[in-house]
């Protein structure tokens, strides 16, 4: 048994100073305040972080062959013990390479745990596509989705789409029936379309406030529904650059701790010096960090 003492422990709700934990066979067996064992010098200890939306980091990206396996190793450097690697909108061939990357990482015994594949696209709104390559954006289609993920159906954890597009509601319903998390994002849906999508199975947003129209007092859309509907969670990017800290507070107050979660939405440039980096088929230049 190993005992770690003099730690600042976050137990999920609060910080506990001068705490100790005992570990046996990889399992935490005791929580106390003993001063024996390995003195951690007051360092913080918390449960492993879970990142449900990331594309890469440290020079690796999820779309590159073998990329997800390598990302799983670097995730541990940042305290992430479980994550959901995301694709970007690309050719069907490259998307299937991504799915194979995820498959290989899920069976790898090393690194952070891979929870499944997250398809961000290709069923997005053209005007709100963000960095996603418009050449590969498609209307939602159950038949296309079935062909795209053939052989990888069991590893799909989440799909982001614009449900207001032709065929969108049918695909939402199909995905929800498969037990897949369906996220509304890169979407121009109005309030009625958004609520209809929730009825069909959408249960979360993709990076709330980003790649969606801003709040309008007479024309509410995805954002207004996301902040007020009790059956949908709100994802947001927590770098305090994509959205202001006051906006983070707004999401938290509107949704409550059980209905909001943050992600990194990181790409291969994360943790790297200035330069040019890839995000799927797109080149992203980083200057001044």
Catalytic residues: 265
Interacting residues of 27 by C-beta distance below 8 A, sequence separation 6+:
none
DSSP states of the chain as a string?
-EEEEEEEEE-SS-EEEEEEEEEETTEEEEEE----SEE-TT-EE-PPEEEEEE-EETTEETTSTTHHHHHHHHHGGGTEEEEEEB--S--HHHHHHHHHHHHHHHH-SSSSEE--EEEE-SS--STT-TTS-GGG-----HHHHHHHTTT-GGGEEEEEE-TTSTTHHHHHHHHHHTT-EEEE-SB--BHHHHHHHHHHTEEEESSTTTTBPPP-SSS-BHHHHHHH-TT-BEEEE-SSSSS-HHHHHHHHHHH-GGGEEEE----TTTTS-SEEEEETTEEEEE---
Q: What does the alpha-carbon distance between residue 112 and residue 86 come to, in Å, rounded to a whole number?
A: 15
Task: Count how many residues are written for the chain.
Answer: 289
CA-based torsion, 180, 176, 98, 149: positive or negative: positive
**CB distance 217 to 210 below 8 Å:** no
């Amino acid at each position: 048994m190993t005992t770690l003492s003099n730690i600042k422990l976050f137990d999920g709700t609060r910080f506990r100073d001068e705490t100790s934990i005992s570990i046996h066979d990889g399992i935490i067996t005791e929580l106390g305040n003993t001063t024996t064992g390995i003195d951690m010098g007051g360092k913080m200890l918390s449960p492993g972080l879970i990142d449900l939306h990331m594309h890469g980091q440290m020079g690796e990206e999820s779309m590159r062959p073998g990329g997800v396996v390598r990302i799983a190793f670097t995730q541990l450097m940042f305290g992430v013990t479980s994550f959901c690697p995301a694709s970007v909108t690309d050719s069907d061939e490259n998307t299937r390479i991504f799915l194979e990357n995820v498959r290989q990482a899920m069976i790898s015994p090393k690194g952070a745990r891979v929870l499944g594949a997250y398809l961000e696209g290709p069923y997005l709104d053209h005007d709100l596509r963000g960095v996603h390559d418009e050449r590969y954006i498609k209307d939602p289609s159950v038949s296309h989705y079935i062909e795209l993920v053939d052989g990888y159906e069991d590893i799909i954890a989440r799909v982001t789409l614009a449900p207001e597009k032709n065929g969108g509601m049918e695909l939402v319903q199909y995905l929800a029936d498969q037990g897949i998390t369906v996220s509304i994002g890169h979407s121009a849906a109005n309030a009625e379309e958004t609520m209809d999508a929730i009825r069909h199975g959408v249960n979360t947003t993709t990076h709330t406030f980003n790649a969606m129209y801003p709040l309008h007092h007479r024309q509410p859309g995805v954002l207004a529904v996301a902040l007020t509907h009790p059956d949908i969670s709100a994802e947001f990017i927590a770098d305090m650059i994509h959205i202001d800290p006051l906006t983070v507070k707004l999401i938290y107050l509107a949704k409550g701790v059980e209905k909001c979660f943050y992600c990194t939405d990181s790409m291969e440039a994360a943790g790297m010096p200035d330069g040019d980096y890839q995000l799927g088929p797109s080149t992203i230049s980083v200057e001044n960090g």
